[in-house]
Amino acid sequence: MPHSPDESISQPRHVFVYGTLRAGGSNDIRRFRPQPKLIGDATMAGTLYDLGAYPGAVLGGEGVLQGEVYSIAAEVEGALDRLEGVTADDNGEYIKRNCVLVVGGQAVECLVYELHPTLVSGRAVIVGGDWFQRHFHDGEGASTS
């Protein structure tokens, strides 16, 4: 039986991850249940900052963020909100934003967790916007500009 337009249907959400939530990271998103499904790699405009054990991104501007897009269940979204310190008044460590990214040639609506802009002062910029490249492969590429 087809669903009527008024009927609430639980649609999977998508999230763009750019730091420790990426596959192989210390907070690998695949550890959550139900397990998120990788849709593909993606990039978006932004600046990546080194916060020590993890990065934070401020969206927009000239830089490019490297990351992955996953399909997630509502339960996982709630767990991610808690992990990222999201608050209803947008005064937490991260702010949950909506964006549209191109993944495999298709436009995909995604959530992304943006570092609260008041927390970037004095933080090193990760040149190239790739946390894994900076943190795990070459250990170089940060600047304080």
Superfamily of domain 13-143: Gamma-glutamyl cyclotransferase-like (3.10.490.10)
pLDDT of residue 11: 64
Per-residue pLDDT reduced to its tens digit, 66-120 = 999 999 999 999 999 999 999 999 999 999 999 999 999 999 999 999 999 999 9
Annotate 72-103 with b (16+ C-beta within 10 A) or e (fewer).
bbeebbebbbebbebeeeeebebbbeebebeb
The domain spans of the chain are 13-143
Which band of pLDDT confidence, cut at 50, 70 and 90, is reported for residue 9? very low
Per-residue pLDDT reduced to its tens digit, 26-49 = 999 999 999 999 999 999 999 999
pLDDT of residue 145: 39
Token pair in block for residue 101: 């990214």
Cα dihedral 119/95/38/134 (nearest 10): -10
